[in-house]
Structure 1
């Protein structure tokens, strides 16, 4: 019995240690510190939109291989068997087997045009992966800053609640000694209740932003992460004109638009091929007879050519369609370039507007803080009013909120500008 007990203790100790390590690992996994760059990396790894874009890229690549096969020889093997007979006579078996080879030598440029189209479509799909990645980067950045913004707003509203709670204590103390009216107590209680509601709303907004952030980066929605970065001001150095020029060179939409034009040009080549002759080499090796696959051999090798002299205007109609498609993509390219420039200008303007608000909001916070202290000092000295203190507190809360909003707007619009410029495009 003593030996059994001695053996059990190490096992229990080992299990307890294992559970402790497991719980620690789970706690560590549930809560982690994430920088913005780390968050973007997670999103790029886990986002399903990127995986779908990669699948489209693979599909387009195999589309090239499919069209390239139009210039390669094809081999087909066929066989047939028949049994026939009449009443009172023996049945007869016959088999025919053939091996055929066909190799297009010239298709009037049709296959070459289809290959060029497939390559352009593959380029569009490849650039589409970068386009999706850029959107994921922006979505992650916006979600990251949204969490920071709402976390800071919780702090502002909590400070307001704390300040009004302390103020209410002082108001009640003065009311008890008869120096102020009951209305001051009631008004202070109402303002405190309103501040507590705003704090609750801020907490809810934070929880929603955290769930949205986790969804984007591919983590469980209830994960609680500590953000390493904070809302900060980092100046954007590139001018508007340089930003526009960079966007017109790097934006995936611009590159895709050019590939669309190339595909339309190839489509015109395919349509024109209907006016040209086609040439092919073909050969056949056959066997026939009463025994499978056949005991008599025959073969043939030849060159075939065809030229559609009159097709009732079908080819001409296809050429007209291809030209109309070319005109459309040219207009689309101009529209895309104008849209990209407009997007850059809008993001740049919004960023600059938020940048100007950052400094003014800092000044407002400083002035509002001084005003609150002065109002509180006057009220507690008996020469000010309760309304002055409450108004000063609300002004400080609004100034703090405006400061946080300005930083958030600046960083988000800066991220939109970088996406519009194509800074992250590889």
Structure 2
């Protein structure tokens, strides 16, 4: 079975936070195995070719265009402005639905991409924690043999090691599951070996005010463009019905349709405004929590250095050294999760304002 590989060391994400962490080499490729190197853009492009929902949307667009051609052909024999308008509108709506589906697929791939990288970094953290726990167990056993530690110290160290191994095994199982999902998204074989570029991961805050974000969202959100099209169509249908040959009830129905779609327009604007507010606040909150995680990591790194020095000088207990190890591992884990939580929140914000990957 082929396995996941990373193009960069697993600690690059944490090093970007300022943590003085050890470098963990990427897993080696299977002998003779081909590794598919992917960045985020390449992953999204693969998903575009394989996603069933997107393929269905493309077929709907083809059907809408075929329908328009049929209506135009029939119009040569029996002109019908209403049918022609409906067919043209159907094509436009199908085009926008395709664009909306592409945006949704791109975000799903981006989120899955980050989850793969997140779990790879989590495993690297736990691998280092396992090595530390193993060394501490050996120290505890040596100290017990020398008569300066108790059976409880050894049992406590062994329990810490077993807990770390269990956590690591769970993370590895989660990574295997996420990779199955990710490969399916991209239309890859179940055993395809992939290498993801992690340079897309960032801790930089998006330089944009809420007002600017709202302006961009209201200009670019496809859902709103669809409702605007509905307003335009309703107005044109009312114009077509406003003549001496159309029954009064038909004209009145067109007026009600226009009033209804205008209310839907207001409703859509309110919904998008709220969506952008939530995404903007979530992104900024995630960035603040990233700064907290960074500071906590620096604190735990220094605490671990001090506890080690005290332990070597026989001025700290086994309990204190285990607490230092646990605190350091938790801080590293929090730093990893905070980094990827921010990047996912950032991606959701860009989705809320309908900004494409290439425009970021």
1:216 and 1:417 map into 2 onto residues whose CA distance is 22
Runs of at least 5 residues in structure 1 that lack an aligned partner in the other structure: 1-23, 74-102, 105-110, 278-314
- The equivalent residue for 1:10 is none
Q: 1:67 aligns with which of 65, 68, 71?
A: 71
> In the alignment, is residue 393 of structure 1 matched against residue 325 of structure 2?
yes
Q: Is the 8 A contact 1:114 1:270 kept in 2?
A: no
Q: Is the 8 A contact 1:358 1:407 kept in 2?
A: yes
Deviation, structure 1 residue 27: 2.4
Aligned pairs for 1:276-287 within 5 A: 276=245
Higher strand share: 1
Of 43, 52, 62, 2:56 maps to 52
Q: Check 1:125–1:353 CA distance in 2 against 1; reply closer, same or farther (3 A cut).
A: same
Change (3 A) 1:262 1:64: farther
Which structure's residues are more often helix, by fraction?
A: 2
Aligned alpha-carbon RMSD (Å)? 2.3
TM-score (norm 1): 0.72
Q: Which has the higher contact order (CA 8 A, sep 6+)?
A: 2
Q: Which runs of 5 or more residues in structure 2 are unaligned?
A: 1-29
How far is the alpha carbon of 1:399 from its aligned partner? 1.0
Q: Retained in 2: the 8 A contact 1:351–1:413?
A: yes
Which of residues 298, 311, 334 in structure 2 aligns to 1:366? 298
* Contact 1:117–1:266 under 8 Å retained in 2: no
Q: Report the equivalent of 1:125.
A: 94
C-alpha distance 216-177 of structure 1, shift in aligned 2 (>3 A): same
The CA distance in 1 between the partners of 2:176 and 2:262, in whole Å, is 47
- After superposition, give the CA deviation of every residue in 1:322-347 in whole Å (9 maximum; x if it has no partner): 33332222222111112112222211
Structure 2: distance between partners of 1:420 and 1:173: 58
Contact 1:247 1:420 (8 Å CA) reproduced: yes
CA contact (8 A) 1:150 1:205 kept: yes
Partner of residue 210, structure 1 = 179
SS of equivalent residue, structure 2 residue 175: helix
TM-score by length of 2: 0.84
2:341 is paired with a residue whose SS is helix
Structure whose CA Rg is larger = 1
| 4+ aligned runs moved over 6 Å, structure 1 | none
Partner of 2:147: helix, strand, or coil?
coil
Q: For residues 380 and 171 of structure 1, do their structure 2 counterparts lie closer, same or farther at Cα, with a shift above 3 Å needed?
A: farther
Secondary structure of the structure 1 residue equivalent to 2:37: strand
The verdict on how the C-alpha distance between 1:355 and 1:407 changes in structure 2, with shifts beyond 3 A counting, is same
